[in-house]
């Protein structure tokens, strides 16, 4: 999983670096978030999933403001820490004490958030995004497994329809309740 997380981080970092101050108030495909709010949420995810890799606690109850100073450099540093945390041999073993789920599921949650939210940010700011090689296959299976529960928990909306010729990334995005083919946000 650390290899996929490393590749997903490498795909997300250029998008984060491409966000300009003027972009922070823009809406995103993740309807409840502006670019600024989603970027802070993604920071929170990356930091908390470092702790979850070590079977430590996580706190998603509030979202601090991470976007000050050299925040884009810090995001790159935090994603490197995320990859390192999941590269530990024990990271994938057992059940997360912080979430009560198998560690493999928790790692896939981190991969999903990093991939989908990088797409959200790219879409909101007019950037290109290419997902990590291999991530879409893993995440498709994960969404099959967790999709109904994620919708019940309001993490996903109802799936959007996309044509058969949609790309694998567009199909994945649609399954999370976002319309990857919408011409505007």
**CA gap 173, 102 in Å, rounded:** 24
Spell 89-102 as b/e; 16+ CB within 10 A means b. eebbeeebebbeee
pLDDT interval class at 173 (50, 70, 90): confident
**CA gap 112, 73 in Å, rounded:** 22
Tell whether 103 is covered by a domain. Answer: yes
Tell whether 185 is covered by a domain. Answer: no
Tell whether 181 is covered by a domain. Answer: no
Tell whether 165 is covered by a domain. Answer: yes
Domain CATH number, residue 85: 1.20.120
- For the stretch 19-31, pLDDT in tens is 999 999 999 988 7
Cα–chain-centroid distance for residue 104?
16
Tell whether 83 is covered by a domain. Answer: yes
Cβ neighbours, 10 Å, residue 20: 9
Mean pLDDT, to the nearest integer, of 47-63? 90
- For the stretch 62-89, pLDDT in tens is 888 999 999 999 999 999 999 999 999 9
Tell whether 100 is covered by a domain. Answer: yes
Predicted TM-score (pTM) above 0.75: yes
Q: Treating both helix axes as pointing N-terminal to C-terminal, what angle do 71-87 and 2-17 enclose, rounded to 10 degrees? A: 180
Q: What is the pLDDT of residue 185?
A: 56
Mean pLDDT, to the nearest integer, of 103-131? 92
- 3-state DSSP assignment of residue 132: coil
Tell whether 184 is covered by a domain. Answer: no
Q: Is the pLDDT of residue 182 over 70?
A: yes
Indicate the average pLDDT of the chain: 89
Mean pLDDT, to the nearest integer, of 93-103? 85
Structural domain total, the chain: 1
Instruction: Note every long-range contact of 99-103, with CB atoms under 8 Å and residues 24 or more positions apart, other chains counting.
Output: 99/52, 99/58, 103/53, 103/55
Q: Which two tokens stand for residue 135?
A: 């991530």
Q: Which two tokens stand for residue 107?
A: 């790692």
Strand-pair partners of 95:
102
Tell whether 183 is covered by a domain. Answer: no
Q: Is the pLDDT of residue 147 over 90?
A: no
Mean pLDDT, to the nearest integer, of 84-112? 89
Q: What is the pLDDT of residue 50?
A: 95
Please give the residue range of the domain that contains residue 149.
2-175
Q: What is the pLDDT of residue 184?
A: 57
């Amino acid at each position: 999983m650390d290899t996929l997380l490393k590749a997903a981080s490498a795909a997300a970092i250029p998008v984060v670096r491409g966000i300009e101050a003027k972009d922070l108030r823009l809406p995103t495909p993740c309807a409840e978030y502006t670019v600024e709010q989603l970027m802070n949420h993604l920071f929170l995810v990356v930091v908390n999933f470092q702790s979850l890799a070590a079977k430590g606690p996580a706190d998603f109850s509030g979202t601090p403001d991470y976007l000050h100073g050299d925040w884009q450099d810090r995001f790159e540093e935090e994603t490197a820490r995320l990859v390192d945390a999941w590269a530990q041999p024990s990271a994938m073993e057992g059940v997360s004490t912080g979430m009560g789920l198998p560690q493999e599921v928790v790692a896939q949650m981190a991969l999903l958030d990093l991939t989908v939210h990088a797409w959200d940010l790219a879409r909101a700011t007019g950037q290109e995004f290419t997902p990590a090689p291999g991530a879409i296959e893993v995440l498709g299976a994960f969404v099959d497994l967790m999709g109904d529960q994620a919708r019940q928990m309001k993490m996903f909306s109802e799936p959007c329809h996309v044509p058969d010729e949609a790309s694998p990334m567009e199909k994945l995005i649609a399954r999370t309740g976002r319309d990857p083919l919408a011409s505007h946000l």
